[in-house]
Structure 1
Amino acid sequence: MKKEKTSKLYMLGACFGITGFLLIVFSIDLGISITENWLVAQGGSVETSAYEKREQSYTTNFLVMGSILFGLGLSTIILGFYTMLDYEE
């Protein structure tokens, strides 16, 4: 029973970690894609500085979300490891 809970904790940590890692790796592509969609919604004509600022903010948002999820996943896996050690004793 305890090993099942620990394995679920590992799976949750792995999901968070993988999702966070993917958000970090693809943050630039996602930021550019969302900014291009915003540009189309604006009619295709916006000042360059506004476009660059929007692109940087979207990219930073994905980078921060990815970092938080990756850290949460790593922490969850470490917590699962220490609970496994506690169960073995």
Structure 2
Amino acid sequence: MKREKTNRLYTVGACLGITGILLIVFSIDLGTAFAESWLIAQGGSVETSAFDRREQSYTTNFLVMGSILFGLGLATIILGLYKMLDHEE
């Protein structure tokens, strides 16, 4: 039973970590895509500086979300390792 819970922790941690890494790696592409969809919603013509600020904002948001998810995944995996080592004694 304990081993099953530890394996579940590893799975959750790995999913969070992989999702975080993907968000970090693709943050520029995602930020650009979201900014382009915002531009289309605005009618297709806005000031260049406004578009650049929006793109930078979206990119930063995805980078921060990815970093948080990666950190949570890493912490979850470390917690699983600790629990496994604690039960071996």
Q: Deviations over 1:30-76 (max 9, x none)?
A: 00000000001111100000000000000000000000000000000
Distance in 2 between the 1:66 and 1:47 partners?
A: 29
Equivalence map 1:19-34=2 (5 Å):
19-34=19-34
CA distance in 2, matches of 1:76, 1:42: 41
TM-score by length of 2: 0.99
* Counterpart in the other structure of 2:71: 71
Matched letter for residue 20 of structure 2:
G
Gap runs ≥5 in structure 1:
none
* 1:70-89 matches, cutoff 5 A: 70-89=70-89
Q: Which runs of 5+ in 2 are unaligned?
A: none
Partners in 1 of 2:38 and 2:31 — Cα distance? 11
Deviation >6 Å, runs of 4+: none
User: Aligned equivalents of 2:29 and 2:66: distance in 1?
Assistant: 13
After superposition, the C-alpha distances for 1:5-38 in whole angstroms (9 at most, x for unaligned) are 0000000000000000000000000000000000
CA RMSD of aligned residues (A): 0.3
Paired AA for residue 85 in structure 1: L
Count of matched residue pairs: 89
**Alignment pair present for 1:52 and 2:39:** no
- The within-5 A match list for 1:30-45 is 30-45=30-45
Distance in 2, Cα, partners of 1:54 & 1:68: 21
Percent identity over the alignment?
A: 78
